[in-house]
Amino acid sequence: MQDAIDITLNERPLSVSPGTTLFSLRDARKPAADVVVYNGAPMREDVPLQSGDAVVLIQRGEIPPEEELEALMASRHTPGVHRRVKQACVGIAGAGGLGSAIAIALARVGVGRLVVADFDIVEPSNLNRQQYFVRQLGQLKVEALRDNLRDINPYVQVDIHPVRLTPENIPAVFADAAVMVEAFDAADQKAMLTETWRMAYPDRPIVVATGLAGHMPSNTIRTRRLGNLIIVGDGVTAAAPGTGLMAPRVGVAAHHQANAVLRLLLGETPE
């Protein structure tokens, strides 16, 4: 008798009988699936399955169960990353160009809990660089961002605080955060948050950004570590008349910050 065929179905190991085809597997396991992906390619014709094949069955509009979605999303991660970041809590102060992009990157990675604080609303000028949509104009940024994150990964816990952050409330708002992210625009607010965090939680790292305006070269944005202070940016290019905040360079800095958070959660040195 021929041995069973070992494949993966929606990123989980599965043994099927010899002679099983792609469409017979769909009919048996998920007959409502209207997209059948076979070894990375959408298929319209039936084929016999062979050991090592990878099959993904998708029903349009369906939200997969948590374990299945996590398996599908984590399938492109470095082994061991998802399990570790799922346990983490990260604080993000500010939900603008930096904060909204950082939150989306960390949600896609699968960070288990995000705590986001911002008192502002979505304005038309925000759409040049922030991760919002025209239909969200006038909404609180934290509420709009929470909705967008749910559309990406509904199983990430997102705690929102529509408040103006002060030295008095920062320690309580972000009490559970293992890593803090500064995502403000104004220099005085950046300094206030950094000083407050380092006084309240000297053993926990904070990732800040400075110098990311305009359309200067991407490679001038760097990540540097000074103890538990991680600094992202060129340190020079501030927003000014003729040098605005623009999506590409803000995005470069935001993803430097998100990558620094990821490396910290994994016990590695941001650089």
* CATH number of domain containing 20: 3.10.20.30
* Long-range contacts of residues 73-77, Cβ cutoff 8 Å, at least 24 apart: 73/108, 73/110, 73/153, 74/11, 74/110, 75/11, 77/109, 77/110
Q: 255 and 151: one domain?
A: yes
Task: Say what the pLDDT of residue 112 is.
Answer: 96
In this structure, are 93 and 219 located in the same domain?
Answer: yes
Cβ(14)–Cβ(47) below 8 Å = no
Question: Does residue 188 lie in a domain region?
Answer: yes
Residue ending a domain, among 62, 93, 111, is 62
Q: What local confidence, expressed as pLDDT, does residue 77 receive?
A: 82
Report helix, strand or coil for 107: helix
**CA-CA distances (angstroms) from residue 248 to 29, 125, 157, 213?**
43, 15, 28, 10
Task: Give a yes or no: residue 261 inside a domain.
Answer: yes
Average pLDDT over residues 8-27: 94
CATH number of domain containing 197: 3.40.50.720
* pLDDT tens column, 205-262: 999 999 777 788 888 999 999 999 999 998 877 776 767 777 889 999 999 999 999 9
Residue 176 lies in a domain: yes
Does 270 map to a domain? no
As given in the structure block, the two tokens for residue 243 are 């040098």
The tally of domains found in the chain comes to 2
Verify that 226 and 137 share a domain, yes or no. yes
β-strand pairing of 222-226 with 229-233: antiparallel
Q: Taking residues 72-85, what's their average pLDDT?
A: 84
Q: What percent of the chain has pLDDT over 70?
A: 99
Domain boundary among 16, 31, 62: 62
Query: Over the stretch 151-179, which tens digit does the pLDDT of each residue have?
Result: 999 999 999 999 999 999 999 999 999 99
Mean pLDDT of 194-198: 98
For 120-146, write each residue's pLDDT tens digit.
999 999 999 999 999 999 999 999 999
Same domain, yes or no: 37 and 105 = no
Give the alpha-carbon dihedral of 6, 7, 9, 11, to 10 degrees.
110
Tens digits of residue pLDDT in 50-64:
999 999 999 999 999
User: Is residue 72 domain-resident?
Assistant: no
**Does residue 211 fall inside a structural domain?**
yes
Give the CA radius of gyration of the chain: 22
Dist CA 223 CA 221 (whole Å):
7
Q: Are residues 87 and 221 in the same domain?
A: yes
Asked whether residue 16 is domain-assigned, the answer is yes
Lowest-pLDDT range, 71-75, 121-125, 128-132, 184-188? Answer: 71-75
Q: Are 225 and 106 in contact (CB under 8 A)?
A: no
Q: How many Å from the N-terminal Cα to the C-terminal Cα in the chain?
A: 56
Q: What is the pLDDT of residue 218?
A: 83
Res 16: pLDDT: 95
Domain that holds residue 17: 5-62
Report the run of H or E that residue 195 belongs to, with start and end: helix 187-200
Among candidates 90, 134, 113, which has minimal Cα distance to 257? 90
Which residues are within 8 A (CB) of 185 and not within 5 positions of it... i.e. 6 or more apart?
Answer: 94, 96, 97, 239, 245
Q: Residue 1 pLDDT more than 70?
A: no
Query: Domain check: are 237 and 154 in the same one?
Result: yes
Structure confidence at residue 2 (pLDDT):
63
Residue 39's CB: how many other CB atoms inside 10 A?
Answer: 14
Are residues 58 and 107 located together in one domain of the fold? no
For residue 192, is it within any domain? yes
Q: 147 φ, ψ to 5°?
A: -65, -40
| 124 & 185 share domain | yes
| 184/222 same-domain check | yes
Domain identity same for 9 and 133: no
Claim to verify: residue 100 and residue 148 sit in the same structural domain: yes
pLDDT averaged over every residue in the chain: 93
Q: How much is the pLDDT for 8? A: 93
Task: Judge if 57 and 104 occupy the same domain.
Answer: no
